[in-house]
Amino acid sequence: MFKQRVLTALILAPIALAAVFYLPPLGFALFVGLAFTVAAWEWAGFCGWQATAVRAAFAALFAVIYAGCAWAVPANLLWPAQSNLFADNALWLGVAWWLAAILLVLNFKRARALWEHNTAIKAVMGLLTLVPSFVAVLLVRFVNIEQSPFTGAWLIFGMLGIVWAADIGGYLIGKPFGKHKLLPDVSPGKTLEGFFGGLGFVFLLVTGVAYNQGWPEQTAIWYGAAFLLTILSVFGDLSESMFKRVAGLKDSGSIFPGHGGIMDRIDSLTATAPLFALFVATLGGI
């Protein structure tokens, strides 16, 4: 299984990075929109919908929403230099949802009774999980794109680097050394050792970037932002585990051998993207 995961990752990562760096704005929006539409299809499974027609209709609805979002945040928006009410509200809505999601995860035993049998609530949770993240990814990629086509790409690379470092560090440290369960009712495999391992890998990444940049004045802010984003990354994973547990699913899908579905790959990204985009807007990048 581990070998399969590694081989799949070695294929997926270059494809994702090639899309980030080399697709034109419309192509990038379509690429991300397709991935998030598949994620919506998988979320329909979290809602308990198994009929193909129902899941397709749910995914199609999200595709229309994504198209509207892409129209509202075009590449020439000049965000964040140029304020945009829709973009700002989408990001803050995403952050607010993830604060609520963290509380739901931490209080899973008691809180699940409020939503586990309500399909409409679970569908809205999918909306709040996927749409703000989709908007955030587009906003970050399109930063300063007319003057420097790769500025946003490097920012996306930084965001993915944090998510990947947290995931890799969590696995490499948590697998052999994990003894203290993080939230066993939600995800029996997550451990405190894995969390700190992931955080350590993220801090190593930030240290490398800071060293390469000559230890800029905002280095301390970078560490603080990375710490918050790592926590969100972990809770993105835990939140999806919560929904899968309620739905009785091991994986969100089976599209990637050894990796499950799209949601299994972007769960941490959906949690970190809105806050990362706000950091870009307020701090000038990570």
Residue that is written with structure tokens 């800071």 in the block: 210
| Residue closest to 196 by CA, chosen among 165, 236, 222 | 165
Burial of residue 176 (number of CB atoms within 10 Å: 0-12, 13-18, 19+): exposed
Mean pLDDT of 206-221: 94
| Residue closest to 279 by CA, chosen among 25, 78, 80, 74 | 80
pLDDT confidence of residue 55: 96
Give pLDDT tens digits for 189-208. Answer: 899 999 999 999 999 999 99
Number of domains within the chain: 1
Mean pLDDT of 58-67: 98
Give pLDDT tens digits for 152-203. Answer: 999 999 999 999 999 999 999 999 998 999 999 999 989 999 999 999 999 9
Angle between helices 151-177 and 2-22 (to 10 degrees): 170
pLDDT of 250 over the 90 cut: no
Domain range spanning residue 53? Answer: 2-283
DSSP assignment of 81-98 equals: TS--HHHHHHHHHHHHHH
Phi-psi map region of 215: left, alpha, beta (phi>0 left; psi -120 to 50 alpha)? left
pLDDT of 90 over the 90 cut: yes
Paired tokens of 213: 């940049």
Rounded percentage of the chain residues whose pLDDT exceeds 70: 94
SS3 107: coil
Paired tokens of 233: 């990354």
